[in-house]
Structure 1
Amino acid sequence: MFKKTSLIFMFSAGLFSINAQQTIPFRITKHNNIIVKTLVNKQDSLDLMFQIAMEDASISPDRKRRADHLIFDKNEISEKNTVQIGKFALNNVRFFNNELTGHEADGKIGTGMFAGKTFKIDYDNNRFEIYDKQPDLKGYQGMMLLNENGQFFINADNIIDGNLQQEAYFLLQSGYSGALLYSNDFAEEKNLDKMLKVTSEKTMKNSSGESIVTKQGILPFFKLNNSVLKDVPAGFFVGKRKTQAVNYFGADMMRRFIWIFDADRKTVYIKPSKYFSEDYYKIK
């Protein structure tokens, strides 16, 4: 699944024309999503959710604000747009139409705005920091970052039963408000329905009328490098109809760390944030 890829970013390098460190402010919603205020094509003021699992941008059919100056082709793609975030201007931004997004957002914006640069997600100070050179890494732990078509995977240990550690890869998914969401394969192989303490269950119907059952359990321990979190909420699907192909490391887990991604996206450095020991987000 994981291989080295050559990425082509659609965002202008003009954002990084100054050698000094750059910052972009954001706010965190009560659902753990990161929101940045943008001006698209110098006309449309949109609140976009930062989605670390994508490179480009999109707008939602449920947006609260108008996006009249995005022109989409027959494939629902809009090319060569500008996005202004504070004093920073991005050019040649590609938008996709009608993609669902998080609460309080009109759409999404991805990691393309950091193309070729080291960047930090600083949850303590509600801002992104962008570097031309590697910043001070004192107090941080380095981890291998697996990059698959612009999506980032990290490796962690899941302690399900006693001291037995089950290794797994997780997709960083800042659009998922919860903590962990396991893939169908992992949930079945590790028999999570019986091994975890289940706290809730929800049944939904898809467009074909088929039932999709999700459960929330409690993972006793989760180990990411030298950091250990206890009693972590973990979702998974049960029944005949399942929809989850990969494990998610959600926004609730991401906010518990400060992240520095190196420029070539092969290594990520983490340290606990002020939210590390906060109560977990409850999926409703």
Structure 2
Amino acid sequence: MLKKTNLLLFLFASYLGIQAQQTIPFRITKYNNIIVKSQVNKKDSLDLMFQIAMKDGSISPERQRKADHIIFNKEEISDHNTVDIGPVTLKDVRFFDNQLSGYESDGKIGTSLFEGKTFKIDYDNSQFVIYDKNPDLTGYQPLKIMLDQGVFIVAADNVVDGEKQQESYFALQSGYSGGVLYSNEFTEEKELEKKLKIIGEKTLKNSNAQNLAIKQGILPFLKLGDFVFKDISVAFFSGNLKTQNVSYFGADMLRRFIWIFDADRNTAYIKPSKYYSEPYYKIN
């Protein structure tokens, strides 16, 4: 009888362990963006791009699906929405209207998905995992993160034109398809247009539909934690409209790791994903 009781206790504990986490499937587009299927206000089925650099949600003017049950005020803001994504139900979600989003998406959803929880971005299995308690971190490297108005910031070392390593801060930006995008300040200080080998140039639109001239070059080295990337593809803006105030660690770099963010948002834990050695994203 004692053995049977112990077995039942073990099975019950195992059940609780399973219930201590939730899984949300996603798909990755060819532009490196993460897309989740959602239902807003129980009526509007939307494909939303996960944007790690924002907390709330937004709706794109170029959406393919109807969002008739999200009611916006004169300031193009909608409050108190309900969003169902996988097993997670979010309440009181704010949406902004008319913000451009990634290809194949109807809008964006931010980190309110994981409010107060430890969460994993598992690129190997195309899923988010939300934890009620700390997961096994064996094989992961800790990486200090900072929060600035809800944006995750990490430090990385850069080597430009044979110069010594210089630490720079990057905002994690899952909406930017490329790898590294430098701020105007870093670009001008390091004279990237002169010192880097330029391999591409294109005009892009930002979320406010403004045209931006962007150039792509080759950076000799970038170091994140103990991970070193050689001849990495990076980008920076040129021309008269220079509004890039922060540097981005974009989706092409994010996908090269599996990420676990602690509930306090003080530390991220990373290890290489199956995309770690993939060719770098190039501007077409």
How does the TM-score come out when normalised to structure 2? 0.89
Distance between the aligned counterparts of 2:49 and 2:282, measured in 1?
20
Give me the whole-angstrom Cα distance separating, in 2, the residues matched to 1:22 and 1:45: 21
Tell me the equivalent position of 1:235. 235
1:220 Cα deviation from its structure 2 partner:
1.2
Unaligned runs of 5+ in 1: 1-17
Partner deviation per Cα, 1:86-130 (whole Å, 9 max, x = no partner): 232211111111111000000000001100000000000000001
Q: CA–CA distance in 1 between the matches of 2:197 and 2:160?
A: 10
Quick one: distance in 2 between partners of 1:145 and 1:108? 23
User: For each residue in 1:55-90, what CA deviation from the matched residue of structure 2 results, as whole angstroms up to 9, or x when unmatched?
Assistant: 001110000000011011111111111111123221
1:187 partnered with 2:187: yes
Q: Paired residue for 1:170?
A: 170
Q: Distance in 2 between matches of 1:265 and 1:232?
A: 28
Deviation at 1:212, TM superposition (A): 4.9
- Identical pairs, percent: 67
| Aligned positions of 1:129-208 closer than 5 A | 129-162=129-162, 164-202=164-202
SS at the partner of 1:112?
A: helix
Match of 2:69 in 1: 69
| SS across alignment from 2:252 | helix
Residue 213 (structure 1) aligned with residue 213 (structure 2): yes
1:213 to partner: Cα distance: 3.5
- Structure 2: which 5+ runs fail to align? 1-17
Q: What TM-score results when the alignment is normalised by the length of structure 1? A: 0.89
Aligned to 1:13: none
Aligned mates of 1:87, 1:251 — CA distance in 2: 25
**Match of 2:275, SS?**
coil
Residue 132 of structure 1, CA deviation: 1.1
**Rg larger in 1 or in 2?**
2
Residue 83 (structure 2) aligns with: 83
Structure 2: how far apart are the matches of 1:211 and 1:95? 24
Contact 2:20 2:133 in 1 (8 A): no
SS across alignment from 2:223: strand
Distance in 2 of aligned mates of 1:36 and 1:27: 7
C-alpha distance in 1 between matches for 2:240 and 2:73: 38
Q: Distance in 2 between matches of 1:183 and 1:273?
A: 27
Q: Which residue of structure 1 aligns with residue 263 of structure 2? A: 263
In structure 2, the CA distance between the partners of 1:155 and 1:63, relative to structure 1 (3 Å rule), is same
Alignment deviations for residues 16-52 of structure 1 (CA, whole Å, 9 cap, x no partner): xx95111100000000000000011111100000000
Residues of 1 paired with 2:135 and 2:266: CA distance? 16
Instruction: Tell me which stretches of 4 or more aligned residues in structure 1 moved more than 4 Å.
Output: 203-206
Structure 1 or 2: more helix by fraction:
2
2:53 maps to amino acid: A
